[in-house]
Amino acid sequence: MVFWIIPLATIIFSPGSLTFGNYLESKSVVREVPFINFMAETAKDWRHPVPYIVDDDDAMGKGGNKRSVMYYNTTDKSQEPTTTGWFDYYDQPSAEMRRIGLLFGYNLMNHSIHRLNARQNVCGKSDTGGQYNCTFTQAFTAPAYKCDLVADGMGDDGRLAELGAPFNTSALVPAGRDIYRAEVALGDYKRPQVERFVKNSGGRPEGEIPADLGVFKSEPTLWIGWSNNSTEPLAADSPYRTNWEYRYDPQIIRCVMNEAKYTVKWNFTGPFFMEMQKREFLGPVLDTNFTKYEDGTINYNADPVPAENFVKPLPDAILYKKVAAYHAIGEVLRGFLGGHVELEPPIPGPLYAVVSSDITKTRLVGVDSLPKKDFAKTLEDFFGDLVLSLYSAPEMLIVENQELELNRTIWQSSFVYVPERLWMCYAPVIFITLLVLLFGIFTIWEDGTTFSTGFSRILVTTRNTTLDDISRGACLGNDPFPKELMHTRLKFGVLSEGSENEYMHTDGFQHCAFGVVSEVVPIRQGVPYAGLRRRKQDLKVIREEEEK
């Protein structure tokens, strides 16, 4: 039975443990990935372009130079300036930076934009042609806006007056007409810096160069207000019942540009990618404040203080270029935010928005042209995604490569080994085999010797002169077989004493074999039959030789 079970288990059932399917292969590798490094702008001189080396699988054409996030003016545009005290100074965001801003700002997706074939470029391609998925975390320093809520609800204008806000809650619905309002350019970098320039000079002013030419004195504070529809009906005695059905809650935030440490976890899976960003604010990019008039309003006509915090083109050109790069990205953001959105009241109606801002073209507002809930957090994330969208343009100067450890995975099609199924097939066979082995060991112990099924052993076991005599004429076992021989009852045991001992040369020991019932007696335990005695004597001789 065992000889039938084993083939069934190995041939029929065991292939079920090896099936064809997909498995996820995971591995940690070190690869070069894109990295944002604003310090690259600080070492850049537009007179000496940095070549852009295009990857073989890059969709962009060969050649070209790295692009800056900003354009410069200069007091000496010579290839090798010789003018005493010459310097370059900020002009405006570059066309490439504005393009990135427009592509990001108007895509309405809830994430940054990325380059074509980003997953393949970042994660790599397998030898079989498949594309890897990968996750990794990286950190870098970049600008970020920190927004604080300074007014929450109608008439909450105390802090606004203290901080010199350009408007208060009375400008917002329901007291005012604006559902959204933003002042984002107060105290901005002056452009142009002077009224008259030397023709074809690249930005050199006529006459003596002003001491504050190109100086960053302040970074504009963002004052943004909006009103949320609470969907709760106004009280019957509310003064706003004449125009509004529901209670609107105005809120105003104040946002200051900070330098921040970004920690971003990237997840490139399939055709999609996802980033989770955490920002640690390190401090304001420009820590200056404007003075106030006697009535408490801000005096933007005077220079802010303290003057020692101004960032000048000289002598620290490295700091200046970094701040200029931060300012350029902030200027792109402010281009979306400035202006206002009026909301015509439903009474007498109809209710509709009058838009005077590009913010309605971005994800910062809903389909109803109204600002989204938790606008402060939404705005911070929006600017963070604008920074991350620089990855979509590897030709930008600040986009470099760094080596990082990636957790890389890929789905592979292969034969999958299932150990549980293999054990289910072989466990019964192994169990039965062990039982057979144990039974054999017990038999050997009980008999005191071992046996075999070899031909020679079968031959000596069946040798008997009586059987030889009665089998004459039928030695081949062919038909017709003698009926007398067919009905003869045979038995295995000890042959009766007689001539058989002499025939087998057993030296007087009894011989065991097959024979007819009349000449065979049962085997008795402890009797030294022929063969067993000889084996014991041989073992005794071997032990004596080993002892010598």
Report the alpha-carbon distance of residue 400 to residue 391 in Å, rounded.
9
Would 527 be classed as within a structural domain?
Answer: no
Mean per-residue pLDDT, 339-348: 93
Give the CA-trace dihedral at 500, 501, 503, 504, to 10 degrees.
120
Give the per-residue pLDDT at 499: 42
Mean per-residue pLDDT, 208-233: 94
Report the alpha-carbon distance of residue 333 to residue 407 in Å, rounded.
34
Report the alpha-carbon distance of residue 294 to residue 282 in Å, rounded.
33
pLDDT higher than threshold 80 for residue 277: yes
pLDDT higher than threshold 80 for residue 32: yes
Report the alpha-carbon distance of residue 218 to residue 108 in Å, rounded.
31
Q: Give residue 99's pLDDT band: very low, low, confident or very high (50, 70, 90).
A: very high
Would 475 be classed as within a structural domain?
Answer: no
Burial of 70 (0-12, 13-18, 19+ CB in 10 A): buried
- Output the six-digit token pair for 493: 């045991």
Left if phi > 0, otherwise alpha if psi is -120 to 50, otherwise beta: which for 526? left
Mean per-residue pLDDT, 168-173: 96
274-to-30, 32, 265 alpha-carbon distances in Å: 20, 19, 8
Would 96 be classed as within a structural domain?
Answer: yes
Would 124 be classed as within a structural domain?
Answer: yes
Q: Give residue 12's pLDDT band: very low, low, confident or very high (50, 70, 90).
A: low
Burial of 68 (0-12, 13-18, 19+ CB in 10 A): buried
Q: At what angle do helices 317-337 and 95-105 cross, to 10 degrees?
A: 40
Give the per-residue pLDDT at 419: 76
Mean per-residue pLDDT, 332-355: 93
What is the domain count for the chain?
Answer: 1
Q: Which helix (H) or strand (E) holds 423?
A: helix 419-447
Q: Are the CB atoms for 72 and 41 separated by under 8 Å?
A: no
pLDDT higher than threshold 50 for residue 503: no
Would 309 be classed as within a structural domain?
Answer: yes
Give the per-residue pLDDT at 152: 95
Mean per-residue pLDDT, 486-497: 81
The boundaries of the domain holding residue 285 are 2-31+44-415
CA 144 to chain centre: 24
Mean per-residue pLDDT, 202-208: 90
pLDDT higher than threshold 50 for residue 193: yes
pLDDT higher than threshold 50 for residue 202: yes
- pLDDT by residue (tens digit) across 102-153? 999 999 888 899 888 888 888 888 876 678 899 999 999 999 999 999 999 9
Burial of 166 (0-12, 13-18, 19+ CB in 10 A): middle
Q: Are the CB atoms for 85 and 248 separated by under 8 Å?
A: no
Mean per-residue pLDDT, 96-100: 97
Give the per-residue pLDDT at 429: 77
Give the per-residue pLDDT at 232: 94
Assign 287 to helix, strand or coil: coil
Mean per-residue pLDDT, 180-201: 92
Mean per-residue pLDDT, 369-394: 93
251 beta partners: 152, 226
Position with higher pLDDT, 498 vs 221: 221
Would 9 be classed as within a structural domain?
Answer: yes
DSSP state of 530: T
Report the alpha-carbon distance of residue 2 to residue 362 in Å, rounded.
76
Query: Where do we find the tokens 């354009």?
Result: 71
Tell me what the pLDDT averaged over the chain comes to. Answer: 86
Q: Are the CB atoms for 401 and 43 separated by under 8 Å?
A: no
Mean per-residue pLDDT, 506-529: 76
Q: Which of 7-11, 332-336, 534-538 shows the lowest per-residue confidence on average (mean pLDDT)?
A: 534-538
Report the alpha-carbon distance of residue 98 to residue 328 in Å, rounded.
9
Mean per-residue pLDDT, 219-235: 94
Give the per-residue pLDDT at 36: 96
- pLDDT by residue (tens digit) across 60-69? 556 689 999 9
Give the closest residue to 136 by CA, choosing from 302, 252, 275: 275
Give the per-residue pLDDT at 502: 46
Would 484 be classed as within a structural domain?
Answer: no
Report the alpha-carbon distance of residue 106 to residue 113 in Å, rounded.
11
Would 472 be classed as within a structural domain?
Answer: no
Q: Are the CB atoms for 31 and 403 separated by under 8 Å?
A: yes
